[in-house]
């Protein structure tokens, strides 16, 4: 069943609710790189501030509960020669709400914002662990392309090391 959440820009007023969302998403291994105890208010606050300052942050709200059930953000590096790049992209959807179309709604909103409101942005970068095949095929369906393979870069949920896959979306003219 697909739900129709409210889609809004994230603000600093949402930091506590985004923290709660990320704690929940990080409790399931194999998705976010950070573990639950690495999701701190400082981490959330830093990316919210950076995304507001030099990128995009969008949230999905279930209006029946007012809970933030999804979030996506990315931001610039602050380095002039990379002014056309948004990176550090992370998306997280509440496990109870995954598979209902929220991730796609958030991502499409982010890409449409870049296409229509940020003509200076030519490239959006992300990295996904190789075993997160659901996320990788999702990103490919949105126009992201694999750009290589970073061997043994990330620890697997099951132990051992696995490849990280750098991917990018590039503006079409
Ligand atoms: C990856 C994630 C953001 C996707 O969000 P979502 O709301 O579950 O995704 P959607 O329901 O919009 O589905 C998007 C696509 O993902 C795929 N997908 C969704 N659920 C799936 C499942 N259970 N199995 C396989 N593919 C699935 C489908 O390709 C779907 O495309 P469709 O719209 O054509 O059906 C979400 O699962 C999540 O937060 N995962 C944990 C954190 C994470 O992995 N973040 C990314 C780190 S790189």
Q: What residue owns the CA closest to ligand 1's atom 37?
A: 98
What are 37-82's pLDDT values in tens digits? 999 999 999 999 999 999 999 999 999 999 999 999 999 999 999 9
| 137-163 tens-digit pLDDT | 999 999 999 999 999 999 998 889 999
| Mean predicted lDDT score pLDDT of the chain | 96
Give the pair of three-digit tokens for residue 44: 């959330």
Q: How far apart are the first and last CA of the chain?
A: 36
73 ligand 1 Cβ < 6 A: no
CB-ligand 1 contact for 24 (6 Å cutoff): no
- Beta-strand relationship, 55-62 and 6-9: antiparallel
* Confidence band of 31 (pLDDT split at 50, 70, 90): confident
pLDDT for 173 equals 84
Residue 74 burial (CB < 10 Å; 0-12/13-18/19+)? buried
The CA–CA distances, whole Å, from 92 to 98, 121, 122, 173 equal 9, 23, 24, 30
pTM of the model: 0.95
Q: Which residue has the tokens 């701190």?
A: 40
Among 115, 95, 93, 118, CA closest to 104:
93
- How far is the centre of ligand 1, averaged over its atoms, from the C-alpha of 18 (Å)? 18
* Ligand 1, pocket-test mutation among 92, 101, 103, most atoms within 8 A of CB: 103
Query: Where does 3-133 show beta strands of DSSP type E?
Result: 6-9, 55-62, 67-75, 85-93, 123-129
Could you tell me which of 5, 1, 2, 3 has the C-alpha nearest to residue 109? Answer: 5
Q: What is the pLDDT of residue 30?
A: 79
Residue 2 has what pLDDT?
63
Tell me the pLDDT band of 1, cut-offs 50, 70 and 90.
low
Question: pLDDT tens, 68-126?
Answer: 999 999 999 999 999 999 999 999 999 999 999 999 999 999 999 999 999 999 999 99
* Cβ-based neighbour number of residue 88 at 10 Å: 16
Domains and CATH numbers, the chain: 6-126 (3.40.630.30)
**Which of 26, 28, 90, 93 is the pocket-test mutation for ligand 1 (most atoms within 8 Å of CB)?**
93
């Amino acid at each position: 069943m697909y739900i129709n959440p409210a889609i809004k820009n994230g603000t600093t007023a949402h930091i506590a609710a985004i923290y709660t969302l990320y704690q929940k998403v990080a409790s399931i291994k194999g998705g976010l790189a950070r573990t639950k105890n690495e999701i701190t208010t400082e981490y959330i606050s830093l990316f919210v501030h950076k995304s507001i300052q030099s990128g995009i942050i969008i949230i999905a709200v279930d209006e029946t509960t007012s809970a933030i059930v999804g979030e996506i953000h990315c931001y610039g590096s602050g380095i002039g020669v990379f002014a056309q790049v948004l990176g550090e992209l992370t998306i997280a959807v509440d496990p109870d709400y995954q598979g209902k179309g929220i991730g796609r709604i958030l991502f499409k909103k982010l890409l449409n914002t870049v296409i229509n409101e940020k003509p200076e942005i030519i490239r959006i970068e992300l990295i996904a662990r190789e075993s997160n095949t659901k996320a990788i095929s999702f990103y490919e369906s949105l126009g992201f392309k694999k750009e290589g393979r970073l061997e043994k870069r990330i620890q697997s949920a099951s132990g051992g090391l696995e490849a990280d896959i750098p991917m990018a979306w590039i503006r079409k003219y």
